[in-house]
A = this chain, B = another copy of it.
């Protein structure tokens, strides 16, 4: 077991960076190019608000699918667990994140869970607000509060790229409309989903989200509970079974704590009662997970004893 220090994190970054070589940068994201391939940054914030960072931790990248955990928290708050899970399942699935067969192959045509695209679009449709603008600003304000960072913003370029590359998500959304899963305006739900994916963050921010999930959903400034513990448990359990695309089982075994990744190379980790972890590493594997970031997550688990399935329960 090693001690969590900035020096340790610097070493861990250098040990993990070579894994970037086996991944590829997602060039469909604006300004993402080969020069980003070796980037790797990490931030860890502990319950007692100590913050440790290393590597490219100030590089901002779009949230992409890490937005799914934040959207789910808001929808649970707005509609309650029962209504949310009437529309979306909570079962892991053995298929790619944009699978449409999965929607068709079961009786209910309910998306398997909120961590896949179809599920997250259905969840986005459950975020309340008087107008589309209002729904997005609720989301952004919630993010700013949880990360204690009022500089967060949506990248117009990323948003435009999301829209320009939206055929598959549009197909998923109209499929859900055809089966009655999506009953609100399809284009509005998609638009909010695209905007949510386009908020820019660095690994410090991702770690703040992890800490928020790990330690009671409290505002870092006021200590006030913004999301009740039972909703956070739900979100973390779903991250564990489904947060890392169709490598979720692998990460449950090898990291052993709840994570959520995005195709920008982002990863949020939440170690209950202990810390939040944020990682950025733009080279991703064919499943959508950061290759160097994933290696780093597994190393942290082993070195710092973060595997929840250890014999000391989250400490072994």
A interface, CB within 8 angstroms of B: 89-95, 99-106, 112-113, 167-168, 170-175, 177-178, 186, 214-216, 229, 232-234, 236-238, 240-242, 246-250, 252-253, 256, 258, 271-274, 307-316
Contact = CB atoms under 8 A, between A and B. Distances in A.
Nearest to A247: B91
Contact of A167 (B177, B234, B273, B315): B177
A240 B101 contact: no
A93 B92 contact: yes
**Which of A89, A95, A272 neighbours the largest number of chain B CB atoms within 10 Å of its CB?**
A272
Contacts of A101: 100-101, 104-105
Nearest to A96: B104
A186 B242 CA distance: 33
A101 B102 CA distance: 8
Contacts of A178: 167-168, 171
B237 A253 contact: yes
A167 B170 CA distance: 10
Contacts of A311: 214-216, 229, 232, 272-273
Contacts of A253: 90, 233-234, 237-238
Nearest to A175: B171
A273 B174 contact: no
Nearest to A270: B309
B256 A249 contact: no
A226 to B, nearest CB: 13
A113 B250 CA distance: 10
A310 B229 contact: yes
A100 B118 CA distance: 14
Contacts of A168: 174-175, 178
Contacts of A112: 94
A316 B316 CA distance: 18
Contact of A249 (B92, B177, B236, B272): B92
A83 to B, nearest CB: 15
- Give the 6 A-B CB pairs with smallest separation, nearest first: A273-B313, A93-B94, A92-B92, A167-B178, A171-B174, A168-B178
7 contacts: A100-B100, A100-B104, A238-B253, A240-B241, A240-B252, A241-B252, A308-B314
Contacts of A232: 309, 311
Given A171-B178, A174-B170, A177-B167, A252 B238 contact: yes
A214 B233 CA distance: 21
A210 to B, nearest CB: 13
A30 B249 CA distance: 35
B90 A93 contact: no
